Amino acid sequence: MRLVVGITGASGAVYAVRFLEVARQLGVETHLVVTGWGRKTIEHELRRPTEEVLRLASRSYRPGDLGSELASGTFRTDGMVILPCSMKTLGALAAGYTADLVTRAADVCLKEGRTLVICPRETPLHAVHLENMLRLSRAGAVIMPPVPAFYDHPRTIADLVDHFVGRIFDRFGVAHGLYREWRGMELDRG
């Protein structure tokens, strides 16, 4: 399995780092692009150098490297996740504006019919955000905001992160063991 991972400047870098850690453990080949604001967010939120995060990937690229293999549909991948996805990146994609390697690689996924998972991290959302998400969904993208799940009784933030990261791996058909599969719940029928 070969996946492209884009990290933008939206809050939520912890999700991307965990995705890369698990991908490495599972033997998933990852090609990483971190935007300038993505770097700043990693360093601010996680208090760790971006270079450590870059080393988690199989290969990393500069966001301005539009001549890389990720910019071409002939470089075969199983898809891409943008985690987290800023509204700037979301808007650019919705408009077909591919000024950097994150948006170009995502555009390649759409045009080649590959899985593109977009994890927008913003709240509240206004009409333009929603229209951009709808436009991308209609183009074939999977819109997957990092929404925590509580039905499996998480005890830590790491549990919440793992559940969401596992749901992303689900979209790519990758078995992961990050959360228990839902088996229903017993209801008091009395």
Number of independent structural domains in the chain: 1
Residue 162 tokens, joined:
């793992």
CB distance 24 to 39 below 8 Å: no
Query: pTM for this structure?
Result: 0.95
Q: What's the pLDDT at 188?
A: 61
Print the domain residue range for 22.
Answer: 2-171
Residue 185 lies in a domain: no
Question: Which phi and psi (to 5°) does residue 37 adopt?
Answer: -70, -25
CB distance 64 to 102 below 8 Å: no
Residue 182 lies in a domain: no
CB distance 75 to 112 below 8 Å: no
**Residue whose tokens read 């509204």:** 87
Residue 156 lies in a domain: yes
Summarised one tens digit per residue, pLDDT across range 82-138 is 999 999 999 999 999 999 999 999 999 999 999 999 999 999 999 999 999 999 999
Q: What is the pLDDT confidence band of residue 190, given thresholds at 50, 70 and 90? A: low
User: DSSP class of residue 56?
Assistant: T
Summarised one tens digit per residue, pLDDT across range 134-164 is 999 999 999 999 999 999 899 999 999 999 9
Taking the CB of residue 68, how many other CB atoms lie within 10 A of it? 17
* Sequence-ordered list of residues with C-beta below 8 angstroms from that of 9, at least 6 positions apart, any chain: 35, 36, 37, 38, 40, 41, 86, 88
Q: Is the pLDDT of residue 169 over 80?
A: yes
Taking the CB of residue 121, how many other CB atoms lie within 10 A of it? 20
Say which CATH number the domain at 162 has. Answer: 3.40.50.1950
Residue 142 lies in a domain: yes
CB distance 171 to 144 below 8 Å: yes
Residue 88 lies in a domain: yes
Residue 178 lies in a domain: no
Taking the CB of residue 147, how many other CB atoms lie within 10 A of it? 10
Residue 121 lies in a domain: yes
Residue 189 lies in a domain: no
Residue 151 tokens, joined:
């039905």
